[in-house]
Amino acid sequence: MSKRALVTGVTGQDGSYLAEHLLGQGYQVWGLIRGQANPRKSRVSRLASELDFVDGDLMDQASLVAAVDSVQPDEVYNLGAISFVPLSWPQAELVTEVNGMGVLRMLEAIRMVSGLSTSRTAAPDGQIRFYQASSSEMFGKAAETPQRETTLFHPRSPYGAAKAYGHYITRNYRESFGMYAVSGMLFNHESPRRGQEFVTRKISLAVARIKLGLQQELALGNLDAVRDWGYAGDYVRAMHLMLQQEESDDYVIGTGQMHSVRDAVAIAFDHVGLDWRDHVVVAPELVRPAEVEVLCADSARAQVRLGWKPEVEFPELMHMMVDADLEQVARETRMGELLAGTW
């Protein structure tokens, strides 16, 4: 019989890749959908047509209990979150509710549907396995480089602080109730499906528009920030592997390669034969109140225990994103011209 998976955040970048990956592995997959007419539902349906949906919201405990109860999943992947770090300063309470308390609500839904009492210390066989989308933002002002599972946390944003709570409460449910609960401490991962507010996609889209003569300038914040950027398609394989082990544990996932925002800009502009210095301007308002300067992963545990390794290198990733945006912008421009012609 095929395994059943419930994925929150299915309309996001990772959710769509994970749904495709699980369907490819023969799973039946349900995506949790929030809102009464979520416009991103049809987009993910186009990418993964066999995907089913169930209503729910990480802000609403009863909806999560109902979703878990109706799907009866073998595995729950909690990818839902407000994931854009800068939004977490002006909307700190909301981000804490969704990204922090939302994890607790999902763990509680699993505990209730599984019939685990709060005094129970060992979960029964056939339990629901849980994956939490933790983040390298928890390391923040990093105590050591590269960062591994044991590196101290020093979050630098309300987003990072909420993710740290999600991480610890996941571990706590594993230790308290014997739940198979895993925290994937993932470093930045990107793709052509990345939201346009994140720096790699902001760059790839701007490069495409500048190349096609639709834009002149690209305003960015801190060009010196260093990240460990990988490809989202590689990272969802790690999420799945984490839930297939004999015992649950936490894993750092990244490439171990460091690049600055300036490197990302140079690679992207260079790919289309342009000099970034002719187009990039620094906008002080895009610099964050507290920055995470350097992130770099030590994924040795995942490589040894899960047999996981990334396949796409950073320059290839940036090229993939620029090429996809060149195609998309050209298509949209043609459609715009066609529509203008019919008026």
Site for ligand GDD, rule CB under 6 A? 83, 85, 135-137, 187-188, 197-199, 202, 220-222, 225, 227, 261, 286, 288, 291-292, 295
Catalytic residue list contains 137: yes
Choose among ligand GDD, ligand NAP, none what residue 302 binds, the Cβ cut-off being 5 to 8 Å by kind. none
Beta-bridge mates of residue 7: 31, 77
* Rounded least distance, CB 71 to ligand GDD, Å: 25
User: Please, which residue, 106 or 138, has the CB nearer to ligand GDD?
Assistant: 138
* Rounded least distance, CB 127 to ligand NAP, Å: 23
* Rounded least distance, CB 335 to ligand NAP, Å: 24
Choose among ligand NAP, ligand GDD, none what residue 129 binds, the Cβ cut-off being 5 to 8 Å by kind. none
Nearest by Cα to 16 from 262, 194, 256, 177: 194
Please give the residue ranges that form the binding site for ligand NAP (CB under 6 A). 8-15, 32, 34-35, 38, 40, 57-59, 79-83, 98, 133, 135, 186, 188-189, 195
| Cβ neighbours for 310, distance < 8 A, ≥ 6 positions apart | 230, 231, 234, 235, 254, 255
* Rounded least distance, CB 273 to ligand NAP, Å: 29
**Residue 8's CB: how many other CB atoms inside 10 A?**
28
Choosing from 27, 159, 173, 251, the catalytic residue is 159
Residue nearest to ligand NAP (CB): 12
- Long-range (24+ apart) CB contacts under 8 A made by 279-283 are 279/206, 279/210, 279/216, 279/217, 279/218, 280/217, 280/218, 280/219, 280/220, 280/223, 281/217, 281/218, 281/219, 281/220, 282/219, 282/220, 282/221, 282/223, 283/219, 283/220, 283/221
Nearest-10 Cα torsion for 244, 126, 162, 231: 20
Catalytic residue list contains 135: yes
Choose among ligand NAP, ligand GDD, none what residue 79 binds, the Cβ cut-off being 5 to 8 Å by kind. ligand NAP
Catalytic residue list contains 313: no
* Rounded least distance, CB 203 to ligand GDD, Å: 8
Residues with active-site annotation: 135, 137, 159
